[in-house]
Amino acid sequence: MLLLGFSLPGLARQAPFAADRMARIAVAIGWSAPADAGQGRDSDRFVYFCQGKPYPVIIEYRNGFVDHIGLDIFGHDLKEGNRLACDFVERYFLETLLDRCTPDPGYGFKPAGVSLSGNWEEVVEKGREGLSFSCSYAEGSGARMDLFYEADLPVCSLSFPTKLKVLTGKDKDELENAFLRDVCAARPPRERPVPGNLKRVDRNLYVSENGFWQIEPAQHTAWFTKAGSAYQPLCESAHPAESVLTLLTGYVRDRDYSVKATFHQYGYKQREVVIPLTRLLDQCLEDGCTPYAGMESLKGSTVVATLFLVNGQLGYCHTFRFTLDTALLDRRSGVLQAKAYLYTPFNHPHR
């Protein structure tokens, strides 16, 4: 379900939507997409009238799809580092208006489990000049955002569950499709600095150990060698297990490896995608995931390893089961085979 506007009235039909919820909101506010919607555009603005009063609405695109619609509260800079929560608050404020002015008894806009206190409309009236907020997360249980205007007491506060469907407005199928669109989009690689906790374990072998997830073989561990004063991530067939762990936790940046992954999606669908390994890892790191890799087997020159990309704050992980030949570790490029499962929820703490 990649295009989600085709079955809705004409107002929504002009643009692809990342979620059915976004398409329904667009219809409810009367927003009509421009002809070039999503083609290199970052955002559009729209004024929604509720009970005769104007409210500014922001429509944001991501990789050609309408990915967010909400009241224009925070702006780009304020959202930095807390985009998911800020987008949710903007959308929740707009959905509050829609339930007031455009009720839909067959759908309903606002998600359950959200507590709102204070005068949120004051934030809309004052705008973002002088606005600040604090957002705290209790892992696995929920989050709270307080919005301030240069005062100790918040103007308004929201408590909300940290469930992906609530925060993003997307169901599992839509989340998976959005992930695949985003990970296939070109972007510059991000830096992955050498860890600061390296410990020497051999004449020229250093390790960074940062715990494990659920089971000890799934480690956030990377190995390095040293040339002069510079450390280099280990990637050679002479040390296959250590090199694979280092590769899958994202520290090998000087090779042109790709992943040919079969994604097992919601509804028993499968989709095969070939993507650069660094782009896959960068996408997951940007989404707040921590990589934990573990060796399953090493038979002859064939390695089977599993990578868990864990988002402890939001309670999900992506799982990739890789198969590769150890000879690949000595080359500058190559293709890793993988089976992939996205957004698997979990309830167990990680270490």
Band the pLDDT of 350: cuts 50, 70, 90: very low
Which of 209, 190, 188, 187 is CA-nearest to residue 198? 209
Count of all residues that appear for the chain in the document: 351
* CB within 8 Å of 268: residues ≥ 6 apart: none
| H or E, element range at 246 | helix 240-248
Residue 25: what are its φ and ψ, rounded to 5°? -65, -40
Residue 227 CA to residue 120 CA, distance in Å, equals 57
Residue 284 CA to residue 277 CA, distance in Å, equals 11
Please say whether the beta carbons of 319 and 341 come within 8 A.
yes
Residues pairing with 145 in the sheet: 135, 158
* pLDDT tens profile 44-78: 999 999 999 999 999 999 988 999 999 999 998 89
CA distances from 186 to 58, 84, 280, 289 (A): 25, 21, 11, 20
* pLDDT tens profile 321-338: 999 999 999 999 999 999
* CB within 8 Å of 71: residues ≥ 6 apart: 55, 56, 57, 58, 90, 93, 94, 97, 124
| H or E, element range at 340 | strand 333-345
208 burial type by CB count under 10 A (0-12 exposed, 13-18 middle, 19+ buried): buried
pLDDT at 33 > cutoff 90: no
Residue 153: what are its φ and ψ, rounded to 5°? -90, 135
Band the pLDDT of 15: cuts 50, 70, 90: low
Residue 183: what are its φ and ψ, rounded to 5°? -75, -20
Residue 281 CA to residue 248 CA, distance in Å, equals 8
Band the pLDDT of 1: cuts 50, 70, 90: very low
Average pLDDT over residues 92-101: 91
Residue 327 CA to residue 240 CA, distance in Å, equals 9
pTM (2 d.p.): 0.88
Which of 169, 144, 139, 168 is CA-nearest to residue 156? 144
Residue 128 CA to residue 74 CA, distance in Å, equals 6
Residue 138: what are its φ and ψ, rounded to 5°? -110, 105
pLDDT in the model for residue 349: 43
pLDDT at 7 > cutoff 80: no
